A = this chain, B = another copy of it.
Amino acid sequence: MQIAVVLYDRFTMLDAVGPYEVLSRLPGAELTFAAAQPGAVRADTGRGALVADAALAELPAPDVVVVPGGPGQTALMDDEPLLSWLRAADAASTWTTSVCTGSLLLAAAGLLAGRRATTHWLALEQLAAFGAEPTAERVVVDGKHVTAAGVSAGIDMALALVDRIAGEQVAQAIQLGIEYDPQPPFAAGSPRSAPPETVAALRAASRFVLEG
């Protein structure tokens, strides 16, 4: 089973590495980080880079596609080479998935029209402009299209995917292998649970970023 994790300049690293850590442990999986060109791809913070071992063109028809999010997504919303690759890959894939604002790239490629989908909570309403149905859940499965909420949600998404691909026992073994027994120090990980002033501050900062 071939799995392609798409990298691009200014992606968010945990969006890509959460699913990688789960899916690379799937028996028979051959996971590849791929980008427009092979080589180091710098993350959004500027403080880290992941290596793309292949060009997207070398992987025209992976069984599973994973598209992470990140601030760099904005500049790619009309990037025809990437959108064409996504359309062709989706036509052949068993599962087409995203984390965070990666779903906006799937949406821009026309792959989420009429489907329930999610993304980072700050970007959720943007999905509607592409005919998708914004759905405030952590992992949204609509047929073979699986979208996850912000950043860390890719771990939950990938485990749910392993459950569907290889069954509960394999998913549980991988979950135990990565000791995924989360104990967040605060109930602050969702706009529904975080202190309202924290939610408001992030909304304001995000508006500032979006409006330059």
> Which A residues are within 8 Å of any B CB, using their own CB?
12-14, 17-18, 20-21, 24-25, 30-33, 40, 45, 47-51, 53, 100, 120-121, 138-139, 149-153, 155-156, 159-160, 163, 168-169, 171-173, 175-186, 188-191, 193-195, 198-199, 201-202
Complex contact A169–B189 (CB within 8 A): no
With a CB–CB cut-off of 8 A, which chain B residues contact A14?
A: 17-18, 20-21, 178
Contact A189/B180 with A20-B48, A24-B47 known, Cβ cut-off 8 Å:
yes
Complex contact B179–A151 (CB within 8 A): yes
Give chain B nearest CB distance to A208 CB in angstroms.
14
Complex contact A155–B182 (CB within 8 A): yes
- Which residue from B24, B48, B185 sits with its C-beta under 8 Å from A24? B48
Give chain B nearest CB distance to A114 CB in angstroms.
25
Contact A159/B186 with A49-B51, A50-B51 known, Cβ cut-off 8 Å:
yes
A1–B184 CA distance with the chains assembled, in angstroms: 24
Give chain B nearest CB distance to A138 CB in angstroms.
5
A124–B39 CA distance with the chains assembled, in angstroms: 37
With a CB–CB cut-off of 8 A, which chain B residues contact A169?
A: 198
With a CB–CB cut-off of 8 A, which chain B residues contact A198?
A: 169, 172-173, 176
Q: Which 7 A-B pairs have the closest CB atoms?
A: A150-B179, A181-B189, A182-B182, A172-B188, A181-B190, A14-B21, A49-B51
Complex A-B: 23 CB contacts under 8 Å: A13-B20, A13-B21, A14-B178, A30-B47, A33-B48, A40-B51, A47-B53, A50-B51, A121-B179, A138-B183, A149-B179, A150-B178, A151-B180, A159-B184, A169-B198, A172-B198, A175-B184, A176-B191, A176-B199, A180-B182, A180-B184, A180-B189, A181-B193
